[in-house]
């Protein structure tokens, strides 16, 4: 299938137009015309080799919303014309205990990322969603409700599930006090989810200007973190704190805010080792944990939850010729709260 997209040919170079071929449909494959592709900060980290060596040429993008254009002979889950979503991975071993439990993101043999990787044949480059067409095995795609704005739904496939999964895992809900560190592309999703789940929600941010946005998204409280004494006033208050920022911050003051059996979960990656005062974990029997996106069952659950509660990302839609500028603005945190590419412009 002839496809147009944008490619990073080497690290730290601008993305440029790229024509390539998608594979012909296998029996369980679904082809889709891409409507929108979200820009995730991890696209930038990987293309610039900030997380280690990458695979080039690279077509980034793992927040994909499209419409099914064709199906393989044995496809049962999708029909032509249906709305479809593709996220951070496109395959896994399918047989390990994690895959069988619907936790493909923790596949024992390693999931197959949507881009910056090889397909499971070990030779074919996996090209991502910065393109006008995509092909995916039906078991690694999700249904997207027609009621959701497709542009705002695209970031749900990464930013959304990254926050939804730990909120579900650590039982955010009525009677629980949840805090989100950072009101960016990840954090603004966490606020909406935690509020919809019924938790009492606090946002910690270094920027006082984000207070109105946080409250409009469903936060009950907004705390500016520039004053250490302000944080100290919240000691032993929270059941769950999620660090949704990629900034290199000291997590110890936030650990102090957890009550008995409280958990601080890391989902934003700074790329810098974390130093923890161990006595803070012993006190109040606190836990420090991490969470990585979600499996296919949970991804579909989240999409259904979003349709039920009318939750999408706040986005700025751009044309493909603005991708490089959008990357620079993403690095500068100059977006509310996610860029999404209109795939008709490829």
The model's pLDDT over 243-277, given as tens digits with 9 standing for 90+, comes to 999 888 999 999 999 999 999 999 998 878 889 99
- Domain's final residue, options 290, 313, 331: 290
Whether the model clears a pTM of 0.85, i.e. scores above it, the answer is yes
Residues 6 and 152 occupy one common structural domain:
yes
Q: Count how many Cα atoms sit within 13 Å of the Cα of residue 152 in the half-sphere of its side chain.
A: 15
How many angstroms separate the CA atoms of 179 and 219, rounded?
Answer: 9
Residues 86 and 112 occupy one common structural domain:
yes
How many angstroms separate the CA atoms of 119 and 126, rounded?
Answer: 6
What is the pLDDT, as a whole number, of residue 246?
Answer: 86
What is the pLDDT, as a whole number, of residue 272?
Answer: 85
- Domain's final residue, options 274, 290, 306: 290
How many angstroms separate the CA atoms of 267 and 270, rounded?
Answer: 10
The model's pLDDT over 65-121, given as tens digits with 9 standing for 90+, comes to 999 999 999 999 999 999 999 999 999 999 999 999 999 999 999 999 999 999 999
What is the pLDDT, as a whole number, of residue 232?
Answer: 78
Which residue, chain included where needed, has tokens 């911050």? 249
49: its two tokens: 């080799």
Residues 298 and 150 occupy one common structural domain:
yes
Residues 145 and 31 occupy one common structural domain:
yes
What is the pLDDT, as a whole number, of residue 229?
Answer: 77
What is the pLDDT, as a whole number, of residue 76?
Answer: 98
Residues 187 and 252 occupy one common structural domain:
yes
Residues 69 and 181 occupy one common structural domain:
no
What is the pLDDT, as a whole number, of residue 292?
Answer: 96
How many angstroms separate the CA atoms of 61 and 156, rounded?
Answer: 13
The model's pLDDT over 281-300, given as tens digits with 9 standing for 90+, comes to 999 999 999 999 999 999 99
What is the pLDDT, as a whole number, of residue 12?
Answer: 86
SS (HEC) of the chain: CEEEEEEECCCCCCCEEEEEECCCCCCCEEEEEEEEEECCHHHHHHHCCECECCCCCECCCCCEEEEEEEECCCCCCCCCCCEEEECCEEECCCCCHHHHCCCHHHCCCCCEECCCEECCCCCCEECCCCECEEEEEHHHCEECCCCCCHHHHHHHHCHHHHHHHHHHHCCCCCCCEEEEECCCCCHHHHHHHHHHHCCEEEEEECCHHHHHHHHHHCCCEEEECCCHHHHHCCCCCEEEEEECCCCCCCCHHHHCCEEEEEEEEECCCCCCCCCCCHHHHHHHHCEEEECCCCCHHHHHHHHHHHHHHCCCCCEEEECHHHHHHHHHHHHCCCCCCEEEEEHHHC
What's 278's domain CATH number?
3.40.50.720
Residues 260 and 176 occupy one common structural domain:
yes
Residues 132 and 234 occupy one common structural domain:
no
What is the pLDDT, as a whole number, of residue 140?
Answer: 98
Total domains in the fold of the chain: 2
What are phi and psi for residue 15, nearest 5 degrees? -75, 145
What's 55's domain CATH number?
3.90.180.10
Spatial contact of 255 and 281, defined as CB atoms under 8 Å apart: yes
Residues 148 and 184 occupy one common structural domain:
no
Residues 272 and 327 occupy one common structural domain:
no
Residues 153 and 302 occupy one common structural domain:
yes
Report which of 201, 173, 200 is spatially closest to residue 305, judged by C-alpha positions: 173
Residues 182 and 123 occupy one common structural domain:
no
The model's pLDDT over 300-342, given as tens digits with 9 standing for 90+, comes to 999 999 999 999 999 999 999 999 999 999 999 999 999 999 9
- Domain's final residue, options 290, 317, 334: 290
How many angstroms separate the CA atoms of 202 and 302, rounded?
Answer: 21
The model's pLDDT over 2-45, given as tens digits with 9 standing for 90+, comes to 999 999 999 989 999 999 999 999 999 999 999 999 999 999 99
Domain that holds residue 13: 2-158+294-345
The model's pLDDT over 172-229, given as tens digits with 9 standing for 90+, comes to 999 999 999 999 999 999 999 999 999 999 999 988 899 999 999 999 999 998 877 7
Which of 92 and 233 is assigned the larger pLDDT?
92
């Amino acid at each position: 299938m002839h496809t147009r997209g944008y490619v990073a040919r080497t690290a730290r170079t601008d993305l440029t137009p790229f024509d390539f071929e998608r594979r012909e449909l296998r029996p369980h494959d679904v082809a889709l015309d891409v409507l929108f592709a979200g820009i995730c900060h991890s696209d930038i980290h990987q293309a610039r080799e900030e997380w280690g060596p990458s695979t080039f040429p690279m077509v980034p993008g793992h927040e994909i919303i499209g419409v099914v254009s064709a199906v393989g002979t044995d496809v049962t889950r999708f029909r032509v014309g249906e709305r479809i979503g593709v996220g951070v991975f496109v395959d896994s071993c399918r047989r390990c205990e994690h895959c069988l439990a619907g936790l493909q993101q923790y596949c024992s043999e390693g999931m197959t990322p949507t881009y910056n990787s090889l397909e499971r044949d070990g030779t074919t480059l996996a090209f991502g969603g910065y393109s006008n067409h995509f092909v995916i095995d039906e078991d690694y795609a999700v249904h997207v409700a027609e009621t959701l704005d497709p542009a705002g739904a695209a970031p749900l496939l990464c930013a959304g599930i990254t926050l939804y999964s730990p909120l579900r895992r650590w039982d955010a809900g009525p009677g629980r006090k949840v805090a989100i560190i950072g009101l960016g592309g990840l954090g603004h999703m966490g606020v909406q989810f935690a509020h919809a789940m019924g938790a009492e929600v606090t946002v910690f941010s270094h920027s006082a200007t984000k207070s109105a946005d946080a409250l409009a998204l469903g936060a009950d409280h907004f705390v500016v973190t520039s004053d250490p004494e302000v944080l100290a006033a919240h000691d032993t208050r929270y059941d769950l704190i999620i660090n949704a920022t990629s900034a290199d911050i000291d997590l110890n003051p936030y650990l102090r805010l957890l009550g008995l059996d409280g958990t601080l979960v890391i989902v934003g990656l700074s790329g810098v080792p974390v130093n923890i005062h161990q006595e803070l974990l012993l006190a109040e029997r606190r836990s420090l944990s991490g969470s990585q996106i979600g499996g296919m069952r949970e991804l579909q659950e989240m999409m259904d939850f979003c349709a039920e509660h009318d939750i999408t990302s706040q986005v700025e839609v751009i044309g493909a010729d603005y991708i490089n500028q959008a990357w620079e603005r993403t690095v500068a945190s100059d977006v509310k709260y996610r860029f999404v590419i209109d795939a008709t412009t490829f």
